[in-house]
Structure 1
Amino acid sequence: MTTMVDVAQRAGVSIATVSHVLNDTRPVRPATRQAVLDAMDALGYTPNGLARSLVTSRTRSVGLAVSAISNPYFTEILQGVEAGALEHGYGLLIADPHDDPVHERKVAQLLHERRVDGMIIAPSANPGELLAYLGKHDVPTVFLDRLVDTPADTVSDGPSGTAPAASFRFDQVCTENAEPMAQLVTHLAELGHRRIGLVAGLPGLSTTTERITGYRHGLANAGLPYDERLVAHGDSQSGAAERTTGALLSLAAPPTALVTGNNAMTIGALRALRERGLSVPADMALCCFDDFSWADLFTPRLTAISQPSKEIGARALQLLLERLASPSRPGRTVRLPAALVHRTSCGCPEKAGRPKGHATSGRPESPKNPENPEKGPVS
C-alpha cells in the first residue's frame, strides 16, 4: 500500500511537506504542491481521512439540514452547497429536520456527533432549542433561506436587519422577500384587481413574515386597503394551501387574484381552482413566489418570483468556510436579489410589455453581487 513516505520520496520533499499539502496546515509553494499532487496521482495514493482528522481536528465534512429536500427550491440549494463543498474538498452529510423544532435539534446533535466541521441549516419557525445546542457547543453555522435573530456583532449585507438575541456567532444567507412580493401585488393592482388574496407560508418563518410585509406594502403602493380576510396560511405545503385557497374562494366577496408564498402552495392553489372549475387567468389571476423548472410549461405560464437558489447554497458554503478560517469574526447576513419572471398567469397577453425593471419571460438573468454590483453575478 502506498504511504506518505512513498509520496515524499517520489516528489523529492519531506513527509512534513506532504502533510502540509494534504491538510492545508502551512503554505506550500505552488511548484512543490504540484509535485506532491503529481506524485500522489502517479502512485495512486489515497489519503487516510480518519488519520488526517485526528491530526487536524477537522473531518473536512459539512452537515446540511433542510426540510423537504424533494422541493425543487431546496434541491437547487443543495446543488449549490454540494458543488462548493466538492470544489474545496469537503464531503456533505444531509438530513431533513422536517420543520420540527424538536427534530431539528436532534438532527443538529446527530451531525455534530458525526464530527462535521460546520453546519448549514434552514431553521424552523421556533429554533430556540437548535440555537441553544449550537451555541453550547460553539458549532460553526450558517443559516440559509430563513433568518434567525442575530447577535449584536452581526453585520448585514442587505437592507433588512434583525434584532440581537443569540449568544454565538453565525452567518446567514437568504433572498430579498418583501420588495419582490410587493412588486407582484403592485403588478396585479395595475391590471385592475382590487381584491388580491395571499396564500402565505408557515407562521413564524422569517420568509412568511417578510412576504406578508411585502404584500401589505404592495397594497399600500396601489392605494388598496389591507383586508385580513384575504390572507390565509397554507403552511408552506401543497395540501394546506389547497384547503386554505378553497376557504378564500368561499368568501362572500372572494379575491379576483391570488399570490402564493412558495412553489408547493402554488400547486395546492391550482388544485383548489381546478376543483371549482376556475381557470387561470380568465377566472382568477395567479402569481407566485418561487419559480421552478416546470412553471414555464403550465398553461398559462406562471408569473413568478425567481430566487437564486444555487447561489444561495454556494454563498452559504462560502460563508461557512470563511467562518472556519476566522471563528471569531463578526457574523454576516447576506441577502441576494430575486427577479420577477413575467409570464401570462397574471392575465397579461403572451407578448405584453414587461413591468418596469423585470424580466419578460423565461429564467431571469444571473443576480448581481449584492456587495458590489459591478463585480457581476454571485458565484
Structure 2
Amino acid sequence: MATMGDVARLAGVSVSTVSHVLNETRKVNATTRERVESAIAETGYRRNVVARSLAAGRTHTIGLSISALTNPYFGSLVHAIEERLSAAGLVMFLGDSHDDPAAERRVVDSLLDRQVDGIIVAPSADAERKTIPTIQANGTPFVLIDRGVEIPCDQVAPENVESAARLTEHLLDLGHRRIAVVRGLAGITSSTERVDGFFRAMADRGLAIDPRHVLDGHSRVDDAEHAVREVLSAPDRPTAIVSLNNSMTIGTVKAARALGLDIPSDVALVSYDDFEWSDLFEPRLTAAGQDVGTMGRAAVDMLLERIDGYDGPARRVQVPTSFHHRNSCGC
C-alpha cells in the first residue's frame, strides 16, 4: 500500500506539501498541485481517514438501527436521514433490527464497536430495558425515531393518538358502528398509541368495542391478511376497518379481494400511513400521512446538537400527520 512518502518522492516534493494538497491546509501553486495529484493517482495512495478521525476524536459517521427496511415507510425515513447527514458531511452505517430485540442489540453493538459519533434508533419492543442502557453506558449520543420510550431521552415520532382517532371518527360520521381495528406489533409505542386513539374515538361516541373486531396484524402483511379474512368471513362482519400501518393495510386489501368483497361498497377502509401511490390504485386510500422528511431531519439535527456538546434536558418532538381524504372510506 502506497504511503504519503511514496507520493512525495514521485512528485519531487516534501511530505508536508502532499499533506497540504490533500487537506487544503495551505495554498499550493497549480504546477506543484498537479504533480502531487498525478503522483497520488499513479501510486494509488489513499488517506487513512479512520486513523485521522480517531486522532481528532470524531469518526464523522452516524449509526442507524431501524426495522423492516422493505417497508416503504421506513425506506423513506432512511432516505430523509441519509440526505440530512450527507449535507452535514457525515456517512451513515445502517443496520436492520427486524423488530427483534436480539438483532437490535447486535446492530447497536456493531455500531458502537465502529465508534460512530452518534446513533439514531427506531427502538424494538425491548429497547428500553437492553439497547438504550447499552448506548447510555457507552456515552454515545443518540436519538430515538418513530417510536418512543418512557425513560428521558431525545425522541422524534409522529402524532399517533389524535390521528388514529380522526380516522375512526370519520368512519363514525359516515354511520359505521361495527368497526374493526388492525393493530400493530405489541410493545411498540406507536402501536399502543394508535389503538388508543381508536378506542378513544369509539368511547367518545358511547360505543362498545366487540373484542372480535380488535385484530392483531403484528405490523405484517400476512398476519393482517389472515386476521382480516377471518373477521370478514363472519356473518356479522364489520362494515369498516381501521388499519394502523401500511403493511397491514396491504394485508387488509388482499383479504377483502380474496373473499370477493369490494372496498368500499362491502367494507370501508381507512389507513394510518399513506403510500406514495395511495391515490393511484382503486380504492384510493383515505389515510393519515406521516411527514417522514420532517422526522428524519429533526432527528439528525437533534443528534448533531448532542454531538456538538448540547447537554440540556431530553426533548420529545411529535410531528403532526396529514389527513388524505380519498374514496376507500366510501365517501
Residue 5 of structure 1, aligned match among 9, 20, 25 = 20
1:53-132 → structure 2 map (5 Å cutoff): 53-127=53-127, 128-132=129-133
In 1, Cα distance between equivalents of 2:114 and 2:180: 45
- 1:198 maps onto 2:181 in alignment: yes
The alpha carbon displacement at 1:10 in A equals 1.0
Equivalent residues, number: 304
Give the C-alpha shift of residue 136 in structure 1: 1.9
Whether 2:224 is the aligned partner of 1:207: answer no
User: What corresponds to 1:224 in structure 2?
Assistant: 207
| Aligned pairs for 1:1-379 within 5 A | 1=7, 3-6=18-21, 7-10=24-27, 48-127=48-127, 128-151=129-152, 170-348=153-331
Structure 1 gaps, min length 5 = 13-38, 152-169, 349-379
1:40 CA displacement: 9.5
C-alpha deviation, 1:125, in angstroms = 1.2
1:253 Cα deviation after fit: 2.0
The answer to whether the 8 A contact 1:77-1:311 is kept is no
Q: In the alignment, is the contact (CA less than 8 A) between 1:102 and 1:129 conserved in 2? A: no
The amino acid across from 1:139 in the alignment is T
The RMSD of aligned alpha carbons is 2.2
Q: Are the equivalent residues in 1 in contact too, given 2:244–2:271 (CA < 8 A)? A: yes
Which residue pairs with 1:359 in the alignment?
none
- Alpha-carbon separation, structure 1, partners of 2:71 and 2:27: 49
Is this contact kept in 2: 1:125–1:204, CA < 8 A? yes
Contact 1:186 1:221 in 2 (8 A): no
Q: Distance in 2 between matches of 1:86 and 1:205?
A: 29
Structure-2 separation of matches of 1:137 and 1:327: 17
Structure 1 Cα separation of the partners of residues 26 and 215 of structure 2? 69
Are the structure 2 counterparts of residues 211 and 92 from structure 1 closer, same or farther at C-alpha, using a change threshold of 3 Å? Answer: same
CA distance in structure 2 between the aligned counterparts of 1:287 and 1:303, rounded to whole angstroms: 5
Contact 1:121 1:142 in 2 (8 A): yes
Amino acid at match of 2:143: V
d(CA) in 1 for partners of 2:34, 2:186:
53
One-letter amino acid of the counterpart of residue 112, structure 1: L
Report the identity percentage: 41
Contact 2:156 2:316 in 1 (8 A): yes
Q: Is the 8 A contact 1:173 1:315 kept in 2?
A: yes
Question: Which residue identity lines up with residue 172 of structure 1 in the other structure?
Answer: Q
Shift of 1:330: 1.5
Q: Deviation per CA, 1:270-291: give whole Å up to 9, x if none.
A: 1111111101000000000000
Task: Give TM-score scaled by structure 2 length.
Answer: 0.86
Secondary structure of the 2:186 match is coil
Map of 2:43 onto structure 1: none
Max Rg structure: 2
Q: Residue 43 and residue 186 in structure 1: after superposition, are their counterparts in 2 closer, same or farther (change >3 A)?
A: farther
**CA distance in 1: counterparts of 2:231 and 2:314, whole angstroms:** 41
Residues 58/41 of structure 1: CA separation in 2 closer, same or farther (3 Å cut) = farther
1: distance between equivalents of 2:243 and 2:268? Answer: 11
More displaced stretch, 220-229 vs 186-195: 220-229
Shift in Å at residue 204 of structure 1?
0.9
